[in-house]
Amino acid sequence: MTSLAVLGVGRIGGECAFAAATLGIIDELILADIYKPLLRAQALDLLHTNIEIPISTETARIRDADICIFAAGSPRNPSIKTRADLFDANLPVAQECIQHLKSFEGKLIVVSNPMDIFCYYFQKKLGMPREDCIGFGGQLDSRRFEVALEGRGIEEAAYVLGEHGEHQVPLFSHLGRDILPSEREEILSELRGSSMEIISGKGGTAFGPASHIIDLIRMLKGEKRETITASLSLDGEYGFQNCAMGVPVSVSSDGAKMIGEWPLDAWEREHLDEAGAFLQSLCRRLDV
């Protein structure tokens, strides 16, 4: 019996609720949103599917969920250049939503941007074990990296560490082929822009992130164990603390456990240092 709470049932929250229900990986949905007509519409629309699943819109029930997805708050639009630019708009949303998570003992999947910042915020403010507060984005960034490599004739599993944002760090040194710094920068710039084309074309990303969030839920349910990258509060790993950042983790029903530090070459180390310094500077603005 797995209950999934979704805090913020807009584009990505709604897609995750629908996908999790359709795929039969959860047994109960708890939906919440500040905009009541949308909340009612999402609950009704789900009720009209052929999926028989209990749906609650009682916010008091969020704290009893096994898994909660935090997807409330504003998304980017073409005039909002970076995910970090959403900090001021979405911090009050996180501050409001944390009230529903007091005494929550499940696994929290943080989706809203800037995701690394809110992952750190919830983990510290709620005093959660860091394994249970997982920032989502690394799987998506890693897949986008694979797609960029495939376009260059390289078919390999690939990973991205660092910020889910401008300071993402694709790991080139783990590939079977040398990629020169100039081509690395070209790919990095492609990755930085990869979601904006979707946002401009259809208003926001949904299928890509939702499919990986579903995978993450399966891992948290113990249906499969996988090594992915996800944001976790750091305690000195890679030389950083007082922030959360994308790192390699193994995910199971025990949550996301760091699996040690993957070796980095000089280019990757330099970019990861920039990511860490940037995220620390934003996290310093939080009242935690």
Ligand X SMILES: O=C(O)C[C@H](O)C(=O)O
Ligand Y SMILES: NC(=O)c1ccc[n+]([C@@H]2O[C@H](COP(=O)([O-])OP(=O)(O)OC[C@H]3O[C@@H](n4cnc5c(N)ncnc54)[C@H](O)[C@@H]3O)[C@@H](O)[C@H]2O)c1
Binding residues for substrate: 76, 83, 113, 144
Q: Which of ligand X, ligand Y, none sits in contact with 124, Cβ below 5 to 8 A by type?
A: none
Q: How far is the CB of 182 from ligand Y (least distance, A)?
A: 28
Stretch that binds ligand Y, among 34-42, 241-249, 253-261, 262-270 (CB under 6 A): 34-42
- Report the C-alpha gap between 109 and 221 in whole angstroms: 13
Closest to ligand Y by CB, 75 or 106: 75
d(CA 280, CA 189): 22
Q: Binding to ligand X by residue 140, rule CB under 6 A?
A: yes
- Tokens at 55, concatenated: 């749906």
In a 13 Å sphere around the CA of 48, the CA atoms on its Cβ side amount to 6
Residue of 237, 242, 225 whose CA lies nearest to 279: 242
User: Which positions from 84 through 123 interact with ligand Y, judged by CB under 6 A?
Assistant: 86, 90, 93, 96-97, 111-113, 115
**Residue 13 contacts ligand Y per CB under 6 A:** yes
Nearest 10 degrees: Cα torsion 170, 175, 178, 180: -10
CA 244 to chain centre: 12
Q: Which of 33, 66, 166, 268 binds ligand Y (CB under 6 A)?
A: 33
Q: Is 139 a binder of ligand X (CB under 6 A)? A: no
x/- mask, ligand X, residues 144-183, rule CB under 6 A, reads ----------------------------------------
- Indicate the residue among 51 and 80 with the shorter CB distance to ligand Y: 80
Binding partner of 136, given ligand X, ligand Y, none, CB within 5-8 angstroms per partner class: ligand Y
Q: Does 71 bind ligand Y (CB under 6 A)?
A: yes
Active site residue 164: yes
Peptide bond before residue 248 is cis, with ω within 30 degrees of 0: no
Q: Which residue is nearest to ligand Y (CB)?
A: 10
Q: Please, which of residues 190-229 interact with ligand Y by CB under 6 A? A: 204-205, 209
- What 42-46 contacts at long range (C-beta under 8 Å, 24+ apart), as own/partner pairs, is 42/9, 42/14, 42/17, 46/17, 46/18, 46/21
- Rounded Cα distance between 228 and 92, Å, is 30
Asked if residue 258 lies in contact with residue 247, where contact means CB atoms within 8 angstroms, the answer is: yes
Binding-site entries = 8-13, 33, 76, 83, 90, 111-113, 144
CA angle 270, 275, 278 (to 5 degrees): 125
Total Cβ atoms within 10 A of residue 235: 10
By CB under 6 A, residue 212 contacts ligand X: no
Whether the Cβ atoms of residue 175 and residue 169 lie closer than 8 Å to each other: no
Give the residue, chosen from 90, 123, 139, 205, that forms a contact with ligand X under the rule CB under 6 A. 205
> How far is the C-alpha of 53 from the C-alpha of 68, rounded, in Å?
17
Point out the catalytic residue in the list 100, 164, 167, 271.
Answer: 164
Question: Does residue 20 bind ligand Y (CB under 6 A)?
Answer: no
Residues engaged in binding ligand X (CB under 6 A): 75-76, 83, 113, 140, 195, 205, 209
Residues engaged in binding ligand Y (CB under 6 A): 7-13, 32-35, 38, 71-76, 86, 90, 93, 96-97, 111-113, 115, 136-137, 140, 164, 204-205, 209
Please give the positions annotated as active site.
Answer: 164
